[in-house]
C-alpha cells in the first residue's frame, strides 16, 4: 500500500494565469505565495490532519463515510495552495493512478454495494491526461448504474484554458457528474473562469463550491458576500465553507472558530439561503466533517474547543 504522506517542505507552484490576476499581498497572492510563517509547526498540527491514511482501503481509495469513497487519482496540482490539508501528499512522486490501481479501486467499490458516490480527488484530477480521465470515468460507470461521480478541482479558476472541447465531451459522456470547485475569493471569478464555468454548466455538469475560511484572504462578510453572490450568478451553488484543517505550517491562515461563527452569522443576514454555504470542520484525528455551530462545541478549556461528531467521537481544535 502506498504511504500517502512524506515529510513536507515548502514548494511553490502557480499558473501564469492565476499569478497575473494577483498583486503582492492580495487575497489571490496569499493562496499561492509561500510565507515564512509556514516554518512554524504547532504541536497539534499534523501531516495527515484528516487521518486519511487510517481509511485507505486500496492504494488510491479512501473510504471514510459509508456511501461515498474518495479516489486519489494524482498527487499533482497546477497551483500549490498554501493552506492545503494534503500538502504533505502533493507532488511526492506518487503520480497518476495506474491502470491496475484503477482496477483495484473499482473492485473494492464493486464489492461494497453501499457505495453510491465516487469522488475523484488528489491532487487535481483534471491534471491527468484526458485519455486517463476518460478511462477512470468509464471504469467507474461500468461498476453499476446510478453511481454518482464528483470531481474535486480548482482548474476552472487556476487554468480555465484546460476546460477544452475534448474535456467537455468526456464529461458529457459520463453524466451525471458533479464538480466540486474550490473558489475562495471573488477575484477568482474573471471573464476566463466564468466562461469555463458556463461551458461546464452547458455540458450538464452540476457545479458546487467549497471554500476554506482563510485569514487575511476571505475572513470578511463583505468578501464572502461578493463571492457567494458572484457564484450564484454563474450557477455555482456554495456548498461548504471549511474551517482550516490543522495541516502543518498553516496556523497564520486559520481564522479562530469564534470569529468564523460571527462571520457566518452575519453573512446569513446578508445573503439568500441558496447563496449560503454550510460552515463545517473536519474533526482532527479522523472524526470526519461536522457542521460547525455553537452546539457542536461540547466543551472548551483555555486552549481548545472540544468537538463531537454524531458517533460520539470527540476531537479538539485550537481556539486561536
Query: What residue ranges bind ligand PLP (CB under 6 A)?
Result: 50, 62, 64-65, 68, 70, 119, 289
Treating both helix axes as pointing N-terminal to C-terminal, what angle do 165-173 and 191-202 enclose, rounded to 10 degrees? 30
Concerning whether 131 is annotated as a catalytic residue, the answer is: no
Rounded distance, CA 306 to CA 320, Å?
A: 13
In the complex, which residue's CB is closest to ligand PLP?
64
Among 48, 84, 108, 305, which one carries the catalytic annotation? Answer: 84
247 DSSP assignment: B
Could you tell me the smallest distance in angstroms from the CB atom of residue 85 to ligand PLP?
9
Select 50 or 120, whichever has its Cβ closest to ligand PLP. 50
The closest alpha carbon to 287, from 77, 46, 35, belongs to 46
Q: Which of 60, 81, 199, 305 is catalytic?
A: 81
Q: Is 75 a catalytic residue?
A: no
Q: Is residue 294 within 8 Å of 255, Cβ to Cβ?
A: no
Catalytic residue among 30, 64, 199, 248: 64
How remote is the C-alpha of 202 from its chain's centroid?
A: 23
Complex with ligand PLP: residue 15 or 296, whichever CB lies closer: 296
Q: Considering beta carbons, is residue 121 or 134 the nearer one to ligand PLP?
A: 121
Minimum Å gap between C-beta 33 and ligand PLP is: 26
Give the list of residues 6+ apart from residue 297 with CB closer than 8 angstroms, or none.
257, 305, 306, 307
CB atoms within 10 A of CB 41: 14
Q: Of 62 and 79, which CB lies nearer to ligand PLP in the complex structure?
A: 62
245 an active-site residue? Answer: yes
Instruction: Choose the catalytic residue: 48, 60, 77, 199.
Output: 77
User: 317 an active-site residue?
Assistant: no
Contacts of 106 by beta carbon, 8 Å cutoff, 6+ apart: 139, 140, 142, 143
In the annotation, is 42 catalytic?
A: no
C-alpha span between 277 and 279 (Å, rounded): 6
- Quote the Cα angle for 66-123-253, to 5°: 90
Helix, strand or coil, per DSSP, at residue 27: coil
Q: For residues 70 and 307, which CB has a smaller minimum distance to ligand PLP in the complex? A: 70
Distances (CA, A) of 246 to 7, 76, 254, 268: 15, 21, 9, 26
Smallest gap from residue 123 Cβ to ligand PLP (A):
14
As measured in angstroms, the least distance from the Cβ of 244 to ligand PLP is 14
Which of 35, 44, 55, 68 is the catalytic position? Answer: 68
The yes-or-no answer on residue 64 being catalytic is: yes
Is 226 one of the catalytic residues? no
Q: Which is nearer to ligand PLP, 22 or 51 (CB)?
A: 51
> Which one of the listed residues 60, 82, 86, 316 is annotated catalytic?
86
Minimal distance, residue 313 CB to ligand PLP, in Å: 15
106 in catalytic set: no
DSSP three-state, residue 40: coil
Q: Please identify which of the residues 42, 198, 225, 289 carries the catalytic annotation.
A: 289
CB of 238 to ligand PLP, least distance (A): 13
Biggest CA–CA distance in the chain, Å, is 55
Q: Which is nearer to ligand PLP, 228 or 242 (CB)?
A: 242
Instruction: Single out the residue of 317, 244, 185, 247 nearest to residue 38, CA to CA.
Output: 247
Closest approach, Cβ 24 to ligand PLP, in A, equals: 33
**β-bridge pairing 177-181 and 117-121:** unpaired
The three cell numbers locating residue 246: 490543522
Please give the positions annotated as active site.
Answer: 64-65, 68, 77, 81, 84, 86, 245, 282, 289
Amino acid at each position: 500500500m502506498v504511504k500517502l504522506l512524506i515529510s513536507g517542505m515548502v514548494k511553490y507552484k502557480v499558473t501564469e494565469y492565476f499569478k497575473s490576476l494577483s498583486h503582492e499581498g492580495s487575497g489571490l497572492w496569499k493562496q499561492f505565495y509561500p510565507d515564512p510563517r509556514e516554518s512554524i509547526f504547532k504541536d497539534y498540527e499534523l501531516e495527515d490532519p484528516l487521518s486519511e491514511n487510517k481509511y485507505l482501503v486500496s492504494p488510491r481509495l479512501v473510504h471514510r463515510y459509508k456511501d461515498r469513497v474518495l479516489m486519489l487519482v494524482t498527487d499533482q496540482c497546477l497551483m500549490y495552495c498554501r493552506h492545503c490539508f494534503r500538502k504533505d501528499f502533493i507532488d511526492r512522486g506518487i503520480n497518476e493512478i495506474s491502470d491496475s490501481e484503477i482496477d483495484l479501486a473499482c473492485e473494492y467499490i464493486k464489492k461494497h454495494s453501499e457505495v453510491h458516490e465516487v469522488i475523484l480527488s488528489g491532487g487535481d484530477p483534471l491534471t491527468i491526461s484526458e485519455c486517463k480521465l476518460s478511462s477512470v470515468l468509464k471504469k467507474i460507470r461500468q461498476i453499476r448504474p446510478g453511481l454518482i461521480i464528483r470531481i474535486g478541482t480548482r482548474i476552472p479558476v487556476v487554468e480555465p484554458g484546460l476546460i477544452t472541447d475534448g474535456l467537455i465531451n468526456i464529461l458529457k459522456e459520463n453524466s451525471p457528474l458533479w464538480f466540486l470547485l474550490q473558489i475562495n475569493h471573488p477575484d477568482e471569478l474573471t471573464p476566463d473562469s466564468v466562461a469555463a464555468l458556463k461551458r461546464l454548466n452547458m455540458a450538464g455538469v452540476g457545479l458546487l463550491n467549497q471554500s476554506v475560511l482563510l485569514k487575511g484572504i476571505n475572513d470578511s462578510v463583505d468578501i464572502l458576500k461578493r463571492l457567494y453572490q458572484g457564484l450564484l450568478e454563474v450557477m455555482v451553488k456554495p456548498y461548504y465553507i471549511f474551517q482550516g484543517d490543522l495541516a502543518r505550517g498553516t496556523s497564520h491562515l486559520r481564522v479562530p472558530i469564534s470569529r468564523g461563527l460571527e462571520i457566518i452569522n452575519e453573512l446569513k443576514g446578508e445573503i439568500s439561503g441558496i447563496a449560503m454555504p454550510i460552515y463545517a470542520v473536519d474533526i482532527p484525528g479522523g472524526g470526519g466533517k461536522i457542521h460547525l455551530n455553537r452546539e457542536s462545541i461540547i466543551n472548551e478549556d483555555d486552549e481548545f474547543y472540544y468537538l463531537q461528531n454524531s458517533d460520539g467521537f470527540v476531537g479538539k481544535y485550537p481556539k486561536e
